[in-house]
Amino acid sequence: MTLAEQTFYGVKHVVVDIEGTTSRSSFVFDVMFPYATERFADWLAEHGDEPATAAIVDQVGHEIGVVAPDRDTVVETLTEWVRADRKITPLKTLQGLIWEDAFSSGALVSDFYPDALVAMGAWHSQGVPISVYSSGSVLAQRNWYAHTPEGDRTVWITDYFDTANAGPKREESSYRAISAALGVAPEHLLFCSDVVTELDAASAAGWQVVRLRRAGEPHAEGDSAYPEVDEMTAIILA
Ligand SMILES: [Mg+2]
């Protein structure tokens, strides 16, 4: 599949999704989750006395009805939650701590499609501001851009939006909130995403939208009414 370039007019600010748009959706499941899971035991051994980690242990104990659970029990429980894809707070918090440490030490770098870095670098050089809107937390987004395969790219990013500060990605009101927060009228905003229902919501809020339809991504199937590209370098800001 090779899709043509798409030209957009009057864009004053680009807002990009992460998974499936700038980055492989599979990276979180194939790389980040296993990375954290392999380190649960070591992390608890090394940081068990610190308040943040002690609180995680307490929360795990609370969930399974065990007071002061031993380390093996905590590790087994957390690992089982990963297998079951449970989005449970102590698990998410611990993964966040392990990933933050790994990003800061350079043990882990985030994932970007090469064309995404090229395109965003070009927009930045053109003087077009870029913001991020992803279901990952603002902290995770900042780490993602601070530790790219090509180094710290946070200088490109004006603002970060997640479901906490903007709202759900498939609701029109979230895009109105982002437009207001950025102080940019909707018709001058371009949203890049792989998920058509997100583009529906942005479009309903009056934004320009472009669909990233990348080979191998889970949302690449099915047609839509929106302009679509298979690489971000095919997005031309006139
Ligand atoms: Mg996405």
Rounded distance from Cα 191 to ligand 1 centre (Å): 11
Rounded distance from Cα 187 to ligand 1 centre (Å): 21
How many Cα atoms are found within 13 Å in the side-chain-facing hemisphere of 103? 22
Mean local confidence (pLDDT), 123-149: 94
What pTM was estimated for this model as a whole?
0.87
Rounded distance from Cα 221 to ligand 1 centre (Å): 13
Q: How many whole angstroms separate alpha carbon 146 and alpha carbon 160?
A: 13
The answer to whether residue 56 scores a pLDDT higher than 90 is yes
- The chain-wide mean pLDDT, for the chain, equals 95
- What token pair was written down for 197? 């229902």
DSSP 74-91: HHHHHHHHHHTT---HHH
Residue 124: per-residue pLDDT: 98
Mean local confidence (pLDDT), 80-107: 92
Give the model's confidence band at 28: pLDDT under 50 very low, under 70 low, under 90 confident, else very high. confident
pLDDT digits (tens, 9 = 90+) for 14-27: 999 999 999 999 99
Rounded distance from Cα 100 to ligand 1 centre (Å): 22
Mean local confidence (pLDDT), 66-92: 94
Rounded distance from Cα 185 to ligand 1 centre (Å): 23
Rounded distance from Cα 37 to ligand 1 centre (Å): 24
Q: Mind listing the domains of the chain with CATH numbers? A: 6-23+110-237 (3.40.50.1000), 30-105 (1.10.720.60)
Rounded distance from Cα 56 to ligand 1 centre (Å): 29
In the chain, what percentage of residues exceed pLDDT 70?
100
Residue 89: per-residue pLDDT: 87
Residue 87: per-residue pLDDT: 81
Rounded distance from Cα 59 to ligand 1 centre (Å): 30
Residue 1: per-residue pLDDT: 55
CA distances to 43, 82, 122 from 117, in Å: 32, 30, 9
Residue 166: per-residue pLDDT: 96
pLDDT digits (tens, 9 = 90+) for 137-193: 888 899 999 999 999 999 999 999 999 899 999 999 999 999 999 999 999 999 999
Rounded distance from Cα 20 to ligand 1 centre (Å): 4
Rounded distance from Cα 122 to ligand 1 centre (Å): 21
Residue 139: per-residue pLDDT: 85
Mean local confidence (pLDDT), 31-50: 96
Rounded distance from Cα 29 to ligand 1 centre (Å): 14
